[in-house]
Structure 1
Amino acid sequence: MTIMLSQLGGKEIINLNNGERLGIIADTDIVVDKKTGKILKLLVPERKLQFKLFGENIDIEIPWDAVRKIGNDMIIVEL
């Protein structure tokens, strides 16, 4: 699947298994393989924590192969 970063925009990330909203792609870090340029995973900030523990960021790691569908408004992942 070939995706341009600009196409991901402000899409919401939804877990297929339970319908949970995980975050918005605009708030997400994208980890890319330096050699191939392929996306390895998405790092979505944990929304349930209102504060950072000891200044530490807590992220949900979503492997790129867990992405099932990229629609107009959302990205469906299977976790």
Structure 2
Amino acid sequence: MDSRIGELRYKEVINVTDGTRYGYVGDVEVDLETGQVRTLVVPGRLRFFGLLGREAERVFPWSAVRRFGEDIILVEADAPALSARRRR
């Protein structure tokens, strides 16, 4: 299945381990030397309608991606091992 990076923004990221729905892909980190996708970044959820900012964004390494579907991306990630970072 071919997919463009821009089309990833319309796919929801779901954990195959426990069914957690993290949200939609917001950004992709690419290694410019090799052209390979390194990570998928999902923005944090809004807290109290955005008045209290956002939760930390979730970063999924490419190695965690298990399957691509028509409108979802299945990842395998343990909650404690999942990388989360604050927006810059």
Superposition CA RMSD, Å: 2.3
Shift of 1:11: 1.1
Counterpart code for 1:23: G
Counterpart contact for 2:9–2:27, Cα < 8 Å: no
Distance 1:7 1:46, change over 3 A: closer
Q: CA deviation at 1:78?
A: 0.3
Q: 1:76 aligns with which of 67, 74, 77?
A: 74
Q: Which TM-score applies when normalising by structure 1?
A: 0.76
Identity %: 40
Q: 1:12-57, CA deviations, whole angstroms, 9 ceiling, x for partnerless residues?
A: 11011110111112xx11000010111000111122x51337xxx7
Gaps of 5+ in 1: none
Aligned residues: 73
2:30 to 26, 29, 32: 32
Which stretches in structure 2 are left out of the alignment for 5+ residues? 78-88
What's the secondary structure of 1:43's corresponding residue?
strand
Measured in 1, the distance between the counterparts of 2:65 and 2:20 equals 14
Structure 2 counterpart SS, 1:37:
coil
For residues 45 and 38 of structure 1, do their structure 2 counterparts lie closer, same or farther at Cα, with a shift above 3 Å needed?
A: same
Aligned to 1:8: 8
